[in-house]
Amino acid sequence: MKRALVGDIGGTNARFALWENDRMHSVKVYQTADYTSPEQAIDAYLNDHDLARGALGSVCLAVAGPVDGDAFRFTNNHWRLSRQAFCKTLQVDELLLINDFSAMALGMTRLQPGEFREVCAGQAEAVRPAVVIGPGTGLGVGTLLSLGEGRWMALPGEGGHVDLPVGNAREAAIRQQIEREIGHVSAETVLSGGGLLRLYQAICLLDGHRAVLQTPAAITEAALAGEPLACSVIEQFCRFLGRVAGNNVLTLGARGGVYIVGGVIPRFAELFLNSGFAECFADKGCMSGYFKGVPVWLVTAEFSGLLGAGVALQQKQA
């Protein structure tokens, strides 16, 4: 039987692994900027593992953006893909494309002890939806549903592009400052790697500070070192994330819990755990009591999207 390959392709990184016997192995990460197409990156992966074209029976790629039809254009990088051309070029029998946060949601079903931390205590209701949300290159939002008997459904969506919610005059001023610069302010405009820098710059303009930090990494490093302005930016970032996550819980009735994923939050995990996230998460006026007992976890597992792609492929072939 031919091997299967799973991939998790974001704006910056493309992660690939082999999937055999319900297990993932041989993970390798490539920079999307180094390749002109997913086919070229997968060719590099095959070469690195002494595999030839035609060695793969099935491929499942988790991709950022809505999936429909033969052609797909990646949201946060320069790649494009045609399903038919992909299968012909790599001599693949089957290509399954799924939304990256559908894969991330399915990956939550394979979490192991030590791969998540409690943010808000509670008890997940197994028959209710769970929210999976994560700032990275963009802001991904997915929904996980249990179908019973060990099967799962992940609902795709573009929840990162909802309007950025505000809960007080300060947040309204921040949003207005950003709107003056770029127009429409989505949640992803702030809640992403680039959004962290945009938030810093907006706060500097509002408060009369000189914006000396030039990258999200520099802001994070300064905050971890205790620099007050950078700390206030990280705090506001976490509070906005709490509001967006809480909105999703109300919309979906997501008493199955909330998983915080992505590459941004784990970089300042302790600041996040001690931030106003939980306060803003449940700051919903007359509906604030709804959040009692809804658990929230910070996921630290490295390759949940890849695992979720494997789960999707396995469920399709079952």
Q: Is 8 annotated as a binding residue?
A: yes
Bridge partner list, 3: 56
Cα separation, 77 vs 70, in Å, equals: 18
Secondary element (H or E) of residue 310: helix 304-317
CA angle at residue 8 from 53 to 186, to 5 degrees?
145
From the number of C-beta atoms within 10 Å of its C-beta (0-12, 13-18, 19+), residue 84 rates as exposed
Q: Is 283 annotated as a binding residue?
A: no
Q: Is 194 annotated as a binding residue?
A: no
Cα separation, 297 vs 289, in Å, equals: 19
Report helix, strand or coil for 281: helix
Q: Is 9 annotated as a binding residue?
A: yes
Laid out side by side, the sheet with 296-299 consists of 116-120, 296-299, 258-260, 130-135, 139-148, 151-155
From the number of C-beta atoms within 10 Å of its C-beta (0-12, 13-18, 19+), residue 227 rates as middle
Binding-site members for ATP are: 7-12
Binding-site members are: 7-12
